[in-house]
Amino acid sequence: GQQVMQIPQYQHVQEGEDFTTYCNSSTTLSNIQWYKQRPGGHPVFLIQLVKSGEVKKQKRLTFQFGEAKKNSSLHITATQTTDVGTYFCAGRQGTNAGKSTFGDGTTLTVKP
Amino acid sequence: NAGVTQTPKFRVLKTGQSMTLLCAQDMNHEYMYWYRQDPGMGLRLIHYSVGEGTTAKGEVPDGYNVSRLKKQNFLLGLESAAPSQTSVYFCASSYWGARSNQPQHFGDGTRLSIL
């Protein structure tokens, strides 16, 4: 079945440093979504990428979808303590209508 | 606007007991999902539903049953709870999307411990 892998599993940074998490799929994806989960909270939708090579930005966050639509990345510039949490990617394969496979997430901690 | 509401928020069960987790959404979403989240393992899909009266198995369906009698509700049942089912359970819902998935809206989760 479809597998979605995320690396790294954990990332500890000093406030102000950049952060990147990578998401890789074993199969071509029709779209990929990114979610953020704060400690003790629930996942919250951040963004969706659909087109090959697509790049989207949300303030300090940059999301990319690979040309082959099998990988994606989330980059945070100049991290802040409010960025703490676990970031998940979720990919949909082909015609699996309504169903996405979540990666295991990257947990970011930021030291002030 | 309540969004997705899960009840209960916490529960402790003994091995072999049964219980039902309730998920209710007020956004008129077609799709609903049940996930479990264990430390370091992300979100694993248990069952999902693409509409009222329909359900389908996800990645880890064994030991669970679901029902979607009304569009706004999605119930997750544990017939005979086992310690391996200790987890945080999240319900989510989304609109239908013809070409791509729509964003999932999650509830606050149910923290379930089985002794």
pLDDT greater than 70 at residue B25: yes
User: What's the rounded mean pLDDT across residues B21-34?
Assistant: 95
Distance, in Å, from the CA atom of A59 to the CA atom of B1, rounded to the nearest integer, reads: 27
User: What's the rounded mean pLDDT across residues A67-83?
Assistant: 97
Distance, in Å, from the CA atom of B65 to the CA atom of B21, rounded to the nearest integer, reads: 11
Any CB–CB contact under 8 A between A102 and chain B?
yes
Structure tokens at A29: 């994806």
Identify residue B24 by its one-letter amino acid code.
A
The predicted pLDDT at position B84 comes to 96
Q: Which of A54-58, A106-110, B57-61, B99-103 has the lowest mean pLDDT?
A: B99-103
From the list A1, A30, A41, the residue facing B100 with the nearest CB is A30
From the list B96, B101, B105, the residue facing A100 with the nearest CB is B101
**Beta-bridge mates of residue A10:** A107
pLDDT greater than 80 at residue A53: yes
The predicted pLDDT at position B41 comes to 76
Q: Do A43 and B43 touch (CB under 8 A)?
A: yes
Reported confidence tier of residue B2, pLDDT bands at 50, 70, 90: confident
pLDDT in tens, B30-87: 999 999 999 877 899 999 999 999 999 999 999 999 999 999 999 999 999 999 999 9
User: What's the rounded mean pLDDT across residues B9-15?
Assistant: 96
Q: Do B42 and A88 touch (CB under 8 A)?
A: yes
Mean pLDDT over each residue of chain A, to the nearest integer:
93
pLDDT greater than 90 at residue A80: yes
Q: Do A102 and B58 touch (CB under 8 A)?
A: no
From the list B41, B43, B50, the residue facing A97 with the nearest CB is B50
The predicted pLDDT at position B86 comes to 97
Structure tokens at A98: 């309504």
* Chain A contact set for B108 (CB, 8 A): 41-42
In terms of Cα–Cα distance, which of A102, A93, A96 is closest to A30?
A: A93
Q: Do B108 and A42 touch (CB under 8 A)?
A: yes
Say if strands A61-65 and B105-106 run parallel, antiparallel, or are unpaired.
Answer: unpaired
The predicted pLDDT at position B98 comes to 61
SS3 B94: strand
Reported confidence tier of residue A57, pLDDT bands at 50, 70, 90: very high
The predicted pLDDT at position B99 comes to 59
Q: Which residue has the higher pLDDT, B39 or A79?
A: A79
Which residue has 């992300």 as its token pair? B42
Q: Do A33 and B99 touch (CB under 8 A)?
A: no
Structure tokens at B66: 């679901």
CA distance B106 to chain A (A): 6
Percent of chain A surpassing pLDDT 70: 94
Which residue has 């309504």 as its token pair? A98
Q: Do B40 and A1 touch (CB under 8 A)?
A: no
The predicted pLDDT at position B1 comes to 62
Q: Is A24 exposed, middle or buried (0-12, 13-18, 19+ CB in 10 A)?
A: middle
The predicted pLDDT at position B100 comes to 62
**Beta-bridge mates of residue B44:** B36
CA distance A93 to chain B (A): 10
* Chain B contact set for A102 (CB, 8 A): 35, 42-45
Structure tokens at B53: 């009266």
User: What's the rounded mean pLDDT across residues A99-106?
Assistant: 90
Q: Which residue has the higher pLDDT, A46 or A93?
A: A46
